[in-house]
A and B are shown apart, each in its own frame.
Chain A
Amino acid sequence: MSATAEELKVRASAQSLLKGSSAPVKRSWGQYVRWILLFAGGVLMVMPLAYMMSTSFKYSFEVYNLNLIPEEPTLENYEYVLRDGRFMQWFVNSLIVATLTTISSVLFDSLVGYTLCKFRFRGRYIVFIAILSTLMIPTEMLVIPWYLMAQQFGWLDTTWGIMFPGLMTAFGVFLMKQFFETVPDDFIEAARIDGLNELQIWWIVAMPLVKPALAALAIFVFLGNWTAFIWPLIVTNSQEMYTLPVGLTTFSVEQAVEWELVMTGAAISVLPTLVVFLIFQRFIIRGVVMAGLKG
């Protein structure tokens, strides 16, 4: 079982994305104009983020100022939001939910992907198709039955209630199965002869060989759960159980919105992902391409 031509092409293009352009580039005036327009467009793209950050450091009387650099920068908003306590609670809730679902998804998705790829047994094709078919079902169709389940089992308004639908993802199974195809069967056979049991082979031999795919999957699952909105909104009803996105929504309760505080909240909820992105940029873009073109 080797990689198909299509997969090799995808992988090659993912690699080349990280290097310079492949297209021949002539030095000309047109080239400068192109660069300036693209750069201006890029700056425009991050403007909302820049204004969010800038406003989080402004006093309320300066919110209406169009300047990006605050005249009197202050940390007052951050102090206020952090001292409020609720916000820290939401942050922690989001962190717990996103971390635990990521660990669970990565472990189970890779275990299932590995099993469906490396074991020969009757019914494996049916299991694979059945799991893949769940990708066609929109979450919105499931939230009502999930709510009823959560209600029945007393999971409403609990961390477990927020987490249970996200413990595994069909997309992850698909992705991992594709990547385990690249692990030679000989390695597994050799490990078997050395006397390792199947669980050890998966964990010690196969898993380290697909680390890049595991990391890409982990980033996607974490990001997905960190920003998830509709299900946490439905399953939680007390403020202490909210996740960050749900908590942010409550800023609108009063007619008069305190924009500098909202922007501080938004900044805190976005900052971790931005930091992760700036550190692991190459890696994430490669993951997007591989995941995107295979999905």
Chain B
Amino acid sequence: MSFYEKLSVRQKQTVWAWGFLAIPIIFYVVVRFYPTVNAIILSFQEWNLLGARTWAGFDNYITLYHDPVFWQVFRNTFVYLLIGTPLSLVLAFIIAYHLDRVRFLHGTIRALYFLPFMTSAVAMAWVWRWFYQPVPIGLFNNMLATFGISQIAFLNSTTNALPAVLAPAIWAGLGFQIIIFMAGLRAIPKTYYEAAHIDGVSGWTIMSEITLPLLKPTIVFLVVFSSIGFLRIFDHVFNMTTNNPGGPLNSTKPLVLMIYDTAFNSFDMGYAAAQTVVLFVILLIVSLLQLRLLQDR
């Protein structure tokens, strides 16, 4: 204690600061940084969880390059991204724009749109999976039947399954995007609109010259945020296709599900680690690209 008493005020502060940070720093080093490095190292090794870890150079990456399943999965992952992000953002913007102009029961309607965001993906995947069942179980096919329309194989078709899995993922995230859009819209100063009205500017010009440009920070955030979400899609796919995860015929399998399968069903740890590194690089490139593209303009 006498050692501490002799310190200057500034030095005492430094002691306190590092004291406060000690446990968190250990946590971040052990649970975040070390595993990151370990994953990268493992991606250059061969390991089935039981034997010894042996060096394999770029073998895992070369295998990945020649793996037809990987390219199918790669395609699926980008289909989720390229349909999911634009579709959900356009929908969310339209709803937010109009919701912003509604006074009567505004809070109630907003809550209706937001509620799905609060639910767990697993529970909701099961609800949707039930909707998609053939007659007499599934709700959608029952509805079609009452109108005399022929049945649709939602989850058992290689062409329909991916959109059928994507729909609930979009549905679940919509509420969050609407709220963020509405906050962005509210942040635009009212005076801009008043000035535009006085100048007699038309509605469409107001949208393209005032609303959208001023909303750019919000749009950038939402594009990056939801892209990352769709690139990492897993819970919905896994739970809607549990009898044959990623099926039928890998037509719905995203990269994260391939990683899970490789690591915890085939126990090919090095190969799975290489896939995680690829996922990491894709996420990094996509978010940097989008930030650059959207912020420069």
Residues on A facing B (Cβ under 8 Å): 9-10, 12-14, 16-17, 20-25, 31, 34-35, 37-39, 41-43, 45-46, 48-49, 51-52, 55, 63-64, 66, 108, 111-112, 114-115, 119-122, 124, 127, 130-131, 134, 136-138, 140-149, 164-165, 167-168, 170, 173, 198-199, 202, 223, 226-227, 229-230, 234, 244-246, 248-249, 251-252, 255, 259, 262-263, 265-267, 269-270, 273-274, 277-278, 281, 284-285, 288-289, 292-293, 295
B256 cross-chain contacts in A, Cβ below 8 A: 140, 230
Interface size of B in residues (CB-CB distance below 8 Å): 99
**Contact status A144-B272, CB under 8 Å:** yes
Known: A134-B28, A140-B279, A141-B280. A121 touches B14 (CB 8 A): yes
Q: Does B126 contact A (CB under 8 A)?
A: yes
**Contact status B39-A289, CB under 8 Å:** no
Closest 9 interchain pairs by CB? Answer: A42-B112, A145-B35, A227-B120, A266-B123, A245-B122, A252-B242, A13-B187, A141-B276, A119-B17
Stretch at the interface among B67-75, B94-102, B152-160: B94-102
Expressed in whole angstroms, the minimum distance between the Cβ of B147 and any Cβ of chain A is: 12
Expressed in whole angstroms, the minimum distance between the Cβ of B74 and any Cβ of chain A is: 15
A149 cross-chain contacts in B, Cβ below 8 A: 35
B78 cross-chain contacts in A, Cβ below 8 A: none
**Contact status B106-A281, CB under 8 Å:** no
Known: A45-B174, A48-B171, A251-B126. A164 touches B17 (CB 8 A): no
B1-46: which residues lie under 8 A (CB-CB) from chain A? 10, 13-14, 16-18, 20-21, 23-25, 27-28, 31-36, 38-39, 42
Give the residue among A38, A127, A142, A267 with the most B Cβ atoms within 10 A: A38
Known: A249-B239, A262-B130, A266-B126. A127 touches B35 (CB 8 A): no
* Candidates A31, A230, A267; contact of B235 at CB < 8 Å: A230
**Contact status A145-B42, CB under 8 Å:** yes
**Contact status B120-A226, CB under 8 Å:** yes
The closest CB in chain A to the CB of B99 belongs to A38
B39 cross-chain contacts in A, Cβ below 8 A: 141-142, 144-145
**Contact status B102-A49, CB under 8 Å:** no
Q: Could you give 11 example pairs across A and B, Cβ below 8 Å?
A: A10-B187, A14-B183, A31-B101, A41-B113, A43-B112, A145-B34, A168-B27, A202-B20, A270-B124, A274-B118, A288-B176
Q: Does B284 contact A (CB under 8 A)?
A: yes
Additional A-B contact list (14), CB under 8 Å, known A24-B193, A141-B280, A244-B120 = A45-B113, A49-B127, A127-B21, A140-B259, A142-B31, A142-B39, A144-B269, A149-B35, A199-B16, A230-B256, A265-B126, A266-B124, A269-B122, A289-B183
- Give the complex CA separation of A136 and B110 in angstroms: 31
B115 cross-chain contacts in A, Cβ below 8 A: 45-46, 49, 274, 277
* Candidates B16, B221, B239, B284; contact of A292 at CB < 8 Å: B221
Q: Tell me the interface secondary structure of chain B in the complex.
A: helix
- Give the complex CA separation of A267 and B165 in angstroms: 20
Expressed in whole angstroms, the minimum distance between the Cβ of A23 and any Cβ of chain B is: 5
- Give the complex CA separation of A63 and B137 in angstroms: 7
Residues on B facing A (Cβ under 8 Å): 10, 13-14, 16-18, 20-21, 23-25, 27-28, 31-36, 38-39, 42, 95, 98-116, 118-124, 126-128, 130-131, 136-137, 139, 142-143, 146, 168, 171, 174-176, 179-180, 182-187, 190, 193, 218, 221, 225, 232, 234-235, 238-239, 242-243, 256, 259-260, 263-264, 269, 272-273, 276-277, 279-280, 283-284
* Candidates A35, A66, A141; contact of B143 at CB < 8 Å: A66
- Give the complex CA separation of A249 and B95 in angstroms: 33
A293 cross-chain contacts in B, Cβ below 8 A: 180, 183-184, 218, 221
**Contact status A229-B180, CB under 8 Å:** no
**Contact status B116-A35, CB under 8 Å:** no
**Contact status B130-A20, CB under 8 Å:** no
- Give the complex CA separation of A287 and B104 in angstroms: 24
**Contact status A263-B103, CB under 8 Å:** no
- Give the complex CA separation of A10 and B218 in angstroms: 11
**Contact status B121-A229, CB under 8 Å:** yes
Expressed in whole angstroms, the minimum distance between the Cβ of B190 and any Cβ of chain A is: 6
**Contact status B127-A51, CB under 8 Å:** yes
Expressed in whole angstroms, the minimum distance between the Cβ of B89 and any Cβ of chain A is: 14
B32 cross-chain contacts in A, Cβ below 8 A: 134, 137, 142, 170
**Contact status B280-A138, CB under 8 Å:** yes
The closest CB in chain B to the CB of A55 belongs to B130
Known: A230-B234, A252-B242, A288-B176. A269 touches B130 (CB 8 A): no
**Contact status B101-A248, CB under 8 Å:** no
Expressed in whole angstroms, the minimum distance between the Cβ of B288 and any Cβ of chain A is: 10
Expressed in whole angstroms, the minimum distance between the Cβ of A22 and any Cβ of chain B is: 6
The closest CB in chain B to the CB of A173 belongs to B24
The closest CB in chain A to the CB of B135 belongs to A64
**Contact status A292-B259, CB under 8 Å:** no
Give the residue among A140, A144, A274, A295 with the most B Cβ atoms within 10 A: A144
A252 cross-chain contacts in B, Cβ below 8 A: 242-243
* Candidates B102, B108, B142, B283; contact of A21 at CB < 8 Å: B102
**Contact status A234-B264, CB under 8 Å:** yes
The closest CB in chain B to the CB of A146 belongs to B35
* Candidates A38, A111, A147, A229; contact of B109 at CB < 8 Å: A38
